[in-house]
């Protein structure tokens, strides 16, 4: 709030000072903005426009652009099964993120936040995987999911539990080698990477929830769950919206962890939109078709962001590093 009123002050004063500084201001605007906008234009805006152009050609990436094919690349894309499979896998990651990762992160934030001794320790550990590279994260989880219990820790645990009489035995699984499980395995690694980030967003949001409100609700006879549901969650609105947006956008762009763990396989089971684009453009050397995929991904992200901002009615975004 204070940031906003500070801004209004500046505006008012600048108007009063007005003309005398106008030319200097103009020069400042141009000189200060120029470097950033050269970068943004060269590496963001121009490439996007350019990729629309490339997408109208059949092009291996070698030699000049000669085979103009119109919208044939898009036709091939939308009528082929492969692309829709990739869209579906991306959508699954989105749905799982919203349904599993975020509630989990919220639960952790609620557990860690309330004046718990040692909460700093838990918070630091939970967030730690976020600073590791996707290559490390993918490799670490490949090891965890190795099918042979001799080397795959998860199957080893399942085997140990299987020897106990109390618990019903769960058989060891093929994990990444099984098309039905591979995407879920990659999602476990993604959760490992990201739920600390969402937990942090919620913890930051919780710091803005006045403790008095919660106490007042409890004095009025609300139990723990009612207080959280009716008081805490609505006040967490901003944090929840941000983490939903980051999850949606993050799901569209997810590449490294999945590529390192499964390369889109087995039999296309972990092919997402970005791995599909990478495969088409860089492994099958059809940069024209790959550009068509890229254009569709850009449009999907644009639609996501626009719809999100319409629904939420405000611009709040961060992250995306």
Partner 1 sequence: MMRSIPRKDRGSSPGKFWRRLLQYFVLSVFLLFIVVPIVMVVFGALKSRGEYATSPYTIPDPPRWENFVRILQGESIWLMLLNSLVVMVTTVIGVVFFASLAAFVFSRVRFRGQTLLLNVALLGLMFPLSIAILPTYLVVRELGLIDSLWGLILAQIAFGLATSILILRGFFTAVPSELQDAAYIDGCSSFGFFWRILLPLARPALSAVAVLAMLGSWNGYFFPLVVLNSEKLYTLPLGTMQYVGQYGSEENMVMAFLFLTMIPALILYVFAERQIVSGLTAGALKG
Sequence-separated (6 or more) residues with CB below 8 Å from residue 309: 315
Q: How far apart, in whole angstroms, are the C-alpha atoms of residue 116 and residue 1?
A: 29
Q: Please, which residue, 84 or 282, has the CB nearer to partner 1?
A: 282
For residues 194 to 213, the per-residue mask of contacts with partner 1, x marking binding by CB under 8 A and - elsewhere, is --xx--xx--xx--x-----
CB of 226: closest distance to partner 1 in angstroms?
A: 16
Burial class of 235 by CB neighbour count within 10 A (0 to 12, 13 to 18, 19+): middle
By CB under 8 A, the residues from 108 to 147 that bind partner 1 are: 108, 111-112, 116, 122, 124-129, 131-136, 139-141, 143-144
Residue 307 makes contact with partner 1 by CB under 8 A: no
Shortest distance in whole angstroms from residue 293 CB to partner 1: 8
- Per-residue binder mask for partner 1 (CB under 8 A), 212-241, x = binder: --------------------------xx--
One character per residue 152-181, x = contact with partner 1 (rule: CB under 8 A): -x--x-------------------------
CA–CA distance, 18 with 20 (Å, rounded to integer): 6
DSSP assignment of 109-134: HHHHHTT-TTHHHHHHHHHGGGGS-H
CA distances from 5 to 14, 16, 17, 179, 316 (A): 14, 17, 19, 55, 18
Name the minimum Å distance from CB 129 to partner 1. Answer: 6
Residues 18-57 that bind partner 1 (CB under 8 A): 21, 24-26, 28-29, 32-33, 35-37, 39-40, 42-48, 50-51, 54
Exposure string for 154-170, b = 16+ CB within 10 A, e = fewer: bbbebbeeeeeeeeeee
**Sites for partner 1 among residues 58-117 (CB under 8 A):** 107-108, 111-112, 116
Task: Check the CA dihedral 26-29-35-40 and report its sign.
Answer: negative
Residue list 287-306, contact with partner 1 (CB under 8 A) = 287, 290-291, 293-294, 297-298, 301-302, 305
């Amino acid at each position: 709030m204070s940031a906003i009123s500070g801004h209004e002050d500046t505006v008012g004063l600048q108007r009063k000072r007005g003309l005398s500084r106008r030319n200097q201001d103009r020069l400042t605007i141009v000189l200060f903005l120029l470097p950033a906008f050269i970068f943004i234009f060269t590496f963001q805006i121009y490439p996007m426009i350019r990729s629309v152009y490339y997408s109208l050609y059949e092009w291996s990436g070698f030699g000049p652009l000669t085979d103009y094919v119109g919208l044939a690349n898009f036709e091939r894309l939308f009528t082929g099964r492969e692309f829709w499979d990739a869209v579906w896998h991306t959508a699954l990651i989105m749905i799982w993120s919203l349904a599993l990762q975020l509630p989990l992160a919220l639960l952790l934030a609620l557990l860690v936040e309330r004046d718990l001794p040692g909460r700093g320790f838990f918070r630091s550990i939970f967030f730690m995987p976020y600073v590791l590279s996707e290559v490390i994260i993918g490799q670490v989880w490949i090891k965890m999911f190795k099918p042979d219990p001799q080397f795959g820790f998860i199957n080893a645990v399942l085997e140990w539990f299987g020897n106990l009489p109390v618990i019903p035995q769960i058989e060891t699984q093929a994990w990444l080698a099984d098309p039905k499980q591979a995407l879920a395995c990659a999602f476990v690694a993604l959760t490992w990477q990201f739920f600390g980030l969402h937990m942090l967003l919620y913890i930051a949001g919780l710091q803005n929830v006045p403790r008095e409100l919660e106490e007042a609700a409890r004095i009025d006879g609300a139990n723990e769950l009612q207080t959280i549901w009716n008081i805490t969650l609505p006040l967490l609105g901003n944090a929840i919206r941000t983490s939903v947006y980051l999850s949606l956008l993050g799901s569209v762009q997810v590449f490294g962890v999945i590529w390192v763990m499964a390369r889109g396989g087995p039999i296309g089971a972990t092919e997402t939109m970005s791995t599909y684009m990478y495969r088409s453009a860089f492994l099958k050397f059809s940069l024209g078709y790959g550009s068509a995929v890229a254009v569709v991904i850009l449009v999907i992200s644009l639609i996501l962001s626009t719809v999100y901002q319409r629904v939420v009615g405000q611009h709040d975004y961060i992250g995306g590093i």
